Amino acid sequence: MTKTITSLQKELTIHQRRKAGLFRSMFLWVGMVLATLFYGTIVVPSIIRKKPDGVHRWAIQWGRVLARFSGTRIHVRHTERMHQAGPVILLSNHQSLFDIPVLYAFLDIPFRWMAKSVLFKIPVIGPAMAAADYIPVERGDSKKALKSMFDAAEQIHSGKSVIIFPEGTRGGIDGKMLPFKKGAFILAKKAAVTIQPVVLWGNQYVLPREDQYFVQRFYSGDVFVEILDPIPPERYADLKADQLSDLLRQVMEEGLERLKKWEFEELSGKEDKTAEVRD
């Protein structure tokens, strides 16, 4: 009987868990902590001199080292679709903390993260984020949140590309997208720049949100990425934020289905010759 995509995904999960013993996971965590400390030390001069591009370059190296050290293979296709002619709001689904090094591993455009403003108050981390030109976003107080969103829109419109997870938090082991928050789409309407959607699949297996162990297990495996067609501002100019959210959800869910099929083909030995593999 031919195996279904679902059954093969279950086999993939089992296979990755077999490679995720306590000692192997501890080895990976220790290595990643050491790499973080190393790059955290190297980036200090750029922080002191307030050189955001320097901070960003070291952050990219850090993310790529973590991805490579983890033993995870990252399959990327349609890199030619990445919008290069100006700032973008890059929207990605959020499956795992491992999404961050994966995004660093293949993105070749300068970008910044949007982060909760409270993180900017943490010693060392906060100054580093500020030096990297990350954009703080207020939460909780609706008036402050709206003002920070408008401030962020002005920075994006002036030339900063940013990454946003519209779900706002990580999903579960099934990889399904959570409901989208409105903020990302209000921001897009205000900034009026190209939206660049990206979909990720497999990170929910590599570093799952739900883990029953005291030491979080790290399950090396394969991660699949597809860069979707960019959406120029004139295409969504007449859409309301809710309509824009629905549009992005539709194209991203369709992209996720393609990634599941790609994973199926990869497990079946049908390699996609057009895809790039980062390992």
pTM of the model: 0.81
H or E element that contains 272:
none
Domain ranges, residue 82: 5-278
CATH number of the domain within which 232 lies: 3.40.1130
The number of folded domains in the chain is 1
Distance CA 89, CA 244 (A): 13
* φ/ψ (deg, to 5) at 147: -65, -45
Distance CA 167, CA 213 (A): 26
- Determine the average pLDDT of the residues in 259-278: 71
Residue pLDDT, tens place only, 85-99: 889 999 999 998 889
Residue pLDDT, tens place only, 55-79: 878 888 888 888 888 888 899 999 9
Which whole-number Å values give the CA distances from 148 to 155, 162, 212, 213, in the listed order? 11, 14, 37, 38
- Determine the average pLDDT of the residues in 159-177: 86
Residue pLDDT, tens place only, 178-205: 999 888 898 899 888 999 999 999 988 8
